[in-house]
Amino acid sequence: MVTTSREAAFKRRKKGISFEKISQGILSPSIGGISATTIKRWWNRYLAQVGRTSIWVAGKLIHFGEEEDLLRLHSKGVNSTALDTLEWFHTLLQKYTLYFQFNPSMKGYLSFLNIHLPAELRL
């Protein structure tokens, strides 16, 4: 349940919604409310981890036989921000899930991806 809540928070934050407003909008019967501070901590960890995780996903795509230049899919390349890399990550993730015929609307990307990732890269 927490992974689903985190993914919902990340989607909202990516849209520019404040941590406080996200906190007010995410309630779960099993975990109750989530503080804005917790959501901010989750978000900062997510942004810090997404670059390394993107490289792992890109490597797996190459291993699966992907021939597209995956680095060129990154919008900003070398001078990127964490949000630019986050966009690249989502592009890679869409390609990655196709290999497994995974429908993200059922469980979300993070639950699916965290099963595949090494422990140190889990989001």
pLDDT at 77: 66
Task: Please write the tens of the pLDDT for every residue from 2-20.
Answer: 788 888 899 999 999 999 9
pTM exceeding 0.85: no
Q: Find which of 31-40, 41-50, 64-73 is predicted with most confidence, using mean pLDDT.
A: 41-50
- In the chain, pLDDT over 90 holds for what percent of residues? 42
Would you list the DSSP string of 30-91? Answer: TTEE--HHHHHHHHHHHHHHHHHHHHHHHHHHHHTT--S-GGGGSSSGGG--HHHHHHHHHH
**Any residues with CB less than 8 A from the CB of 68 and at least 6 apart, and which?**
none
Task: State whether residue 28 is helix, strand or coil.
Answer: strand
Mean pLDDT of 74-83: 76
Higher pLDDT, 26 or 10: 10
| Beta-bridge mates of residue 28 | 32
pLDDT at 100: 86
Chain center to CA of 2: 14
